[in-house]
Structure 1
Amino acid sequence: MKDGFIKVSAGTPDVRVADCEYNAGEIICMVHEMAEKGAMVMVFPELCITGYTCGDLFWQETLLKEAKSQLLRIAAETEDINGLIFVGLPLEYQGKLYNAAAALNRGKIVGFVPKVNIPNYNEFYEGRYFSPGKDVDGKILLKGEDYCGAYAEKDPEIEIHFFGEEDLQDVDARENTEDGLDFEEDDFLDELDMDDADYIDEGDLEDDPEEYEVPVSPNLIFTCPEFPELKVAAEICEDLWVAAPPSNLHAYRGANMIVNLSASDELAGKDTYRRNLVSSQSARLVCGYIYASAGPGESTQDVVYGGHDLIAENGTILAESRRFENGAVYGIMDIHKLNNERRRMTTCGFASDREREGFREALFYLEKTETKLEQKFDSRPFVPSSETERARRCEEILNIQATGLKKRLDHIHCQNVVIGLSGGLDSTLALLVTVRAFDMLGLSREKITAVTMPCFGTTDRTYSNACELSRCLGAELREVNIREAVSLHFRDIGHDPDKHDVTYENGQARERTQILMDIANQSGGIVIGTGDLSELALGWATYNGDHMSMYGVNSSVPKTLVRHLVKYCADTCEDKKLSGILLDILDTPVSPELLPPEDGVIAQKTEDLVGPYELHDFFLYHMLRWTCPPEKIFRMARVAFEGEYDAETILKWLKIFYRRFFTQQFKRSCLPDGPKVGSVAVSPRGDLRMPSDACGTLWLRQLDRIKI
């Protein structure tokens, strides 16, 4: 559970309706399989011990007693399992029958959760057998070693007997050849460490120190002392489908993982609705959601069950089973991420102590272990992996950017803009967005002034692309060669032009910004900023140079996404010449072109200096979006970029990321306005209210402790 990760599982065992012994054996086998694969929270379907479709057999005392016996067998045969296990059974309590979830841990029953909402419509007739569990709030007393012992009645209101005298006699000589079990009465009593007198003499039982009270309530929060951040609650099938699911209150009272034991039948299209329901509930409650549904073995008469198991986390489906098959699915949840998100969202309120009345904690225990990160973290979290979704996202972002600029131009009654066009990715995207905004306003593209300003580092390739792009899009092209002006400036300040230091580079950047601002004044226009989110996060911008503009359209677009936005425009523009220019720009190395080229080729490559943007965007996303600590980001990055970057390289650039992020905040504290397009942004007016002089020692010290 290091870093808050915990592996969970939802399983659909093979079920024979009303064959509790067989069903328990299948559940036990699947629990051990899940545990071997590292799962620590395991969820099985509704009424899986008896089968959901027993109908009027639920009135049979024989079935109810056998369900209790097999529940205790499951508990006993999973006592070596490091996990919290949920199974379903019919539970007789205080003269009524409930559809219940039993929570098992280390061979013990730690709680019963009755179903609150009982469906009695269409193909469902649960109201014929089961009572709603909304107002149930009691306990069951169990005695004996490992809960597999006798029940001693102490409370006259409690009417359920778990392995009392008659139950023990019923187990006499039971044989299960499939599981290798052969119970004789004496052997079974030996297992309980009891003799005949122990279980016959109720007085002796009452004096037995091995006595446990098991809570029975829909309002249970299962809590683990070894992992106190984890809070688990349960609801059953229909409870999720109603207008106010019990999990709403569970989350309000602190639960961050909801399990659902279900028997949802299959109808055409119902799987999509079910998937959306689970996903949206996990998003609404900012929680993990594990949904285990009854499988093909329950299919009888007019109804078919598909075993549609789902694992979701805050709106994302982590795992989904193939329907109409038995088996288990697995997912790794990040409890720390969920808790951090809840703290960040001020509207994600929690109950006060007074409002928690009526809810109880049920303790379970887990051995501390490190969850193996088997899943592949998305190495490009800002970029959708699906081509269809990526295209949809690109179109949406371009519209957000253009609409923001459109509003600014309309508000200040401005019909002219100026853009510094370098032939690189960022200025290309800024021009494409500006053209879209002008088209929205019905303004002539000729009022867009694209200024190319060649200097010491400009190559023929980028110069040509800048000029051709401007002409292709119908903008006015203006060229201002700044070599002479910058050289004069170096003479004025006494700088040696052969000394290619930060003064040499930034002098060019600030000269370009001055020119853009003055040309904007000439035309009564504004300067459109081109810098992107990744550059702002690293402070890779010249203060009062390319750092400044009147409106920065790319300010919340990360570098990895800039590339896909330009590619999307190339693919959809229906202009072969324009598409060719955009594709060549995409193929050009990212560079500020401030140092002289070597043999006509770009000599200064940004990623050689500051690091790969795909790494920095990964670091930025998990630091700001999920507030992950450095050690956790390093651990996830090693998994995400396996085969691309080794651990030493990732750690090197992660240290540089944190150092630059903390030292360059002063540049972000005075950023121009710009449209927010995603969940991560660094505007000082919106998402990142960080002191300019905050110290990063704590974060860097954590990275220094990492040993590879």
Structure 2
Amino acid sequence: MAQDHPFYSPSTHGFVRVGAATPVVATADPAANARAHVELMRRGAEAGVQLLVFPELSLSAYAVDDLLMQDALLAEVERRIGELAEVADELDLVAVFGAPVRQGDALFNCGVVVGPGGVLGVVPKTYLPNYREYYEKRWFAPAAARSDDTVTLNGETVDFAPGLVFEAVDRAGFVFSAEICEDFWAPQPPSTRAALAGARILCNLSASNIVIGKAEERELLCASQSSRILSAYVFAASGWGESTTDLAWDGQAMIHELGAKLAAGERFALEPHLTIADVDVGRIGLERLRNGTFADCARAEGEAATVIPFELGGDDRTDDLIRPLDRFPFVPHDAARLDQDCYEAFNIQVQGLMRRLTATNGERIVIGVSGGLDSTQALLVTCRAFDRLGLPRSNILGFTLPGYATSDGTKSNAWALMNALGVTGGEIDIRPAADQMLRDIGHAYAMGEPVHDITFENVQAGLRTDYLFRLANQHKAFVLGTGDLSELALGWATYGVGDHMSHYNVNGGVAKTLIRHLIRWVAEREPEGGAAEVLRAILATEISPELVPADAEGRIQSTEGTVGPYALNDFFLFYISRFGMRPSKVAFLAHQAWKDAATGAWPSNTPDIEKAAYDLATIRHWLRKFLVRFFQTAQFKRSALPNGPKVVTGGSLSPRGDWRAPSDASAQVWLDELDANLPES
């Protein structure tokens, strides 16, 4: 495959490479500062940066006080603005830098936007701080005091207003705006109005001085603003070289997207540097599309903005993404975040089950325990729920229901788990009943032929469910479901039986990859009765429905051999159901995440499949199967799901929740989009 195919370019898939520049400041020396800007702009262009943000008043320096009133300084700043505009035009790069700009007899603290074509526009600061150490009103006029919506720089007249929106006409979604330092701290930042007007990337040119605790405050503001207004936020603060007459500067630089931090630069650095990340403006657009509150607010509170179009020029980069990209979107790689997610997921499941028990005055539960991942997680949740409600674990009735292909390993694990957890265990061999049913329907297996078709499999699955529901009637209990989110997405569930139907299902909102980590999380807490050892044994067991006997070479029925690796399927599910991304973009992201084998610290019992590498052909193969299953063949099963708690964002396939779809749709439009935009194998 040709690596220069458009598929391999981040720009093809709606990514904009942004940078926060941290120059070494030369106090009151625009010529030296311009040279520093040019150096960082060239470095940015070499790294593929398309939008580069500098600190506040970066061309003059911020802490120059009454020197801002010197004509010589202001004239030199204006000359250097022209120089930087020429460099940006040469590099096909958009840069936003800080400069004092005169309009008539007033001076404004501005963000100057330069790019292809020269100076694109100038954004004056809206809110001027004049408290504590700040005295900006001594030198500057606020944006509202401007006499016109244009300003003349080096003989050229350009737009001059707060809230200007800049749009790349040749890059869908590359729409940005800028605000300056204190604007960010205002109750209604200008960036909010810019976002409502269509800007997806918000830039902050800051000269915020550093005091203890302020870095955390800035990060909180960046994260919250990007989350609340569904945007990316690029923050660049002044650093080394600014005057420390009475203040200090740390050069904090950050890039956030939809509340998540994509990149952060070194603070207190002595050398100029760039903080770079790829922002997914396509994802931002999709999030705004599905968020009715954003649209309502834009209609109610939005204001018309001046949109300045520009043409960025060709971009044939085919390098790797520069942004965090989890292989497991439902399972963060950060250990602290994973611990928090597991704590929340487990307790959401527990609370949901507790409420159902109290609502039905239930005191007993019947659950099928197979020795596999899903039933193990459901049983752990049930034990915790019973403990918190003060009910005896003996009221948890666990049954193992061995069939034709049940292995000694899974059955022994099921019994060991039930014994370790102190629940009431039972065993019913379903083979005699299955033999009878197969005889009754005249199946070939009953005549002695080795026919292991779907009927052979579902006779066993259906009988297990029949037994569980009748046992629930007998013991005045209700049946707890065990099927997980990944199985529901793939339709890997027999309609109307235990992995699909129950009185309540605690796992329906939990992806298979997260189930695995939840069991690890419990095992690490050493539950009483020696359950931890059993849990680790279950984690090490290959996923299989165990409905068909092993073949002549001893190979067991493999779930992932049929539907594909759950690691990939969960990746597909997250980006398609959560954001509605095009299949070709999902394939691009999967290739970025999985093209190399995982390295680093992984738990000793992590299956090799979670550390594997997948080439694009393999990703395409399983993604095509996923698309058919998800959009075309499995929805009728999801339309009849029992109740169960939603656990992860965008992770409910309940017909009463996040995902509502027709049961008779076609997957063709998604298959066609994938095939049309991937390189040929």
Q: TM-score scaled to structure 1, two decimals?
A: 0.88
Structure 2: how far apart are the matches of 1:354 and 1:677? Answer: 32
Partner of 1:698: 669
Residue of structure 2 in register with 1:345 after alignment: 291
Deviations 1:229-283 (A, max 9, x none): 2221110011111221111111122211101100111112211111111111111
Q: Distance in 2 between matches of 1:636 and 1:30?
A: 29
CA deviations over 1:570-594 (Å, ceiling 9, x no partner): 1103437211000000011111111
Instruction: State how far apart, in whole Å, the 2-side matches of 1:396 and 1:354 are.
Output: 36
Query: Residue 124 of structure 2 aligns with which residue?
Result: 114
- Which consecutive segments of 4 or more residues in structure 1 shift more than 4 A? 350-358, 598-602
In structure 2, C-alpha distance between the alignment counterparts of 1:357 and 1:670, rounded to whole Å: 45
Q: Distance in 2 between matches of 1:686 and 1:565?
A: 23
**Counterpart selection for 1:563 from 516, 521, 536:** 516
Instruction: Find out whether 1:654 has 2:623 as its counterpart.
Output: yes
- Amino acid in the other structure paired with 1:592: P
Contact 2:403–2:429 (CA under 8 A) maintained in structure 1: yes
Partner of 1:152: none
Partners of 1:87 and 1:261 within 8 A in 2: yes
Query: Which amino acid counterpart does residue 686 of structure 1 have in structure 2?
Result: G
- What does 1:461-500 align with in structure 2 at a 5 Å threshold? 461-497=409-445, 498-500=450-452
The answer on whether the counterparts of 2:64 and 2:243 sit within 8 Å (CA) in structure 1 is no
Give, in whole Å, the separation in 1 of the partners of 2:137 and 2:180: 14
Summarize the alignment of residues 281-320 of structure 1 with structure 2, pairs less than 5 Å apart.
281-320=225-264
* Residue 646 (structure 2) aligned to one of 656, 666, 676: 676
- In 1, the alpha carbon distance for the partners of 2:72 and 2:520 equals 68
CA distance in 2, matches of 1:67, 1:23: 10
The Cα shift of 1:602 comes to 6.5
Please list every run of 5 or more consecutive structure 2 residues that lacks an aligned counterpart in the other structure: 1-10, 597-612
- Give the residue type in structure 2 aligned to 1:693: D
**Any conservation in 1 of the 2:126–2:162 contact (CA below 8 Å)?**
yes
What does residue 346 of structure 2 align with?
Answer: 398
Matched, 1:666 2:636: yes
Residue 86 of structure 1 pairs with residue 33 of structure 2: no
- Correspondent of 1:572 among 517, 525, 537: 525
How far, CA to CA, are the matches of 1:479 and 1:574 in structure 2? 24
Contact 1:138 1:215 survives alignment (8 Å): no
Question: 2 CA distance for matches of 1:617 and 1:553?
Answer: 18
Aligned residue runs from structure 1 range 477-556, under 5 A: 477-497=425-445, 498-546=450-498, 547-556=500-509
TM-score under structure 2 normalisation? 0.92
Q: Contact conserved, 1:425 with 1:562, CA < 8 A, in 2?
A: yes
Q: In structure 2, what residue type is equivalent to 1:388? A: A
In the aligned structure 2, how far is the partner of 1:29 from the partner of 1:668? 56
Number of corresponding residues:
642
Deviates more, 1:575-584 or 1:351-360: 351-360
**Secondary structure of residue in 2 paired with 1:347:** helix
Match of residue 612 from structure 1? 565
Structure 1, unpaired ranges of 5+: 143-161, 165-211
Counterpart of 1:478 in 2: which secondary structure? Answer: strand
Q: Return the offset for 1:134.
A: 3.2
1:358 is displaced (CA, Å) by 5.2
Between structure 1 and structure 2, the one with the greater Rg is: 1
Describe the superposition over 1:130-188 as per-residue Cα deviations: whole angstroms up to 9, x where unpaired.
Answer: 1111353724465xxxxxxxxxxxxxxxxxxx446xxxxxxxxxxxxxxxxxxxxxxxx
Measure how far apart 1:455 and its partner are: 1.0
Matched residues, percent identical?
41
Tell me if 1:324 matches 2:268.
yes
CA drift of 1:352 comes to 6.7
Picking from 564, 579, 588, the partner of 1:626 is: 579
2:4 corresponds in structure 1 to: none
Q: Go from structure 1 to structure 2 and tell me whether the alpha carbon gap of 1:378 and 1:357 turns closer, same or farther (over 3 Å shift).
A: closer
Q: 1:421 to 1:356 in 2, by over 3 A?
A: closer
Q: Distance in 1 between matches of 2:624 and 2:524?
A: 37
Q: Partners of 2:556 and 2:298 in 1: how far apart?
A: 61
1:256-275 matches, cutoff 5 A? 256-275=200-219
User: What is the rounded CA distance, in whole Å, between the counterparts of 1:79 and 1:610 in structure 2?
Assistant: 51
Q: Could you tell me which amino acid in structure 1 is paired with residue 508 of structure 2?
A: S
Shift of 1:477: 0.5
Post-superposition CA distance 1:293-315 (Å, at most 9, x none): 11111142121111101111111
Q: 3-state SS of the aligned residue for 1:572?
A: coil
Deviation at 1:441, TM superposition (A): 1.2
Q: d(CA) in 2 for partners of 1:514 and 1:137? A: 80
RMSD, matched Cα = 1.7
Residue 373 (structure 1) aligned with residue 357 (structure 2): no
Structure-2 residue corresponding to 1:635:
588
User: What's the counterpart of residue 604 of structure 2?
Assistant: none
The answer (yes or no) to whether the contact 1:254–1:350 under 8 Å persists in 2 is no
Distance 2:119 2:232 in 1: 23
Q: Which residue of 2 aligns with 1:432?
A: 380
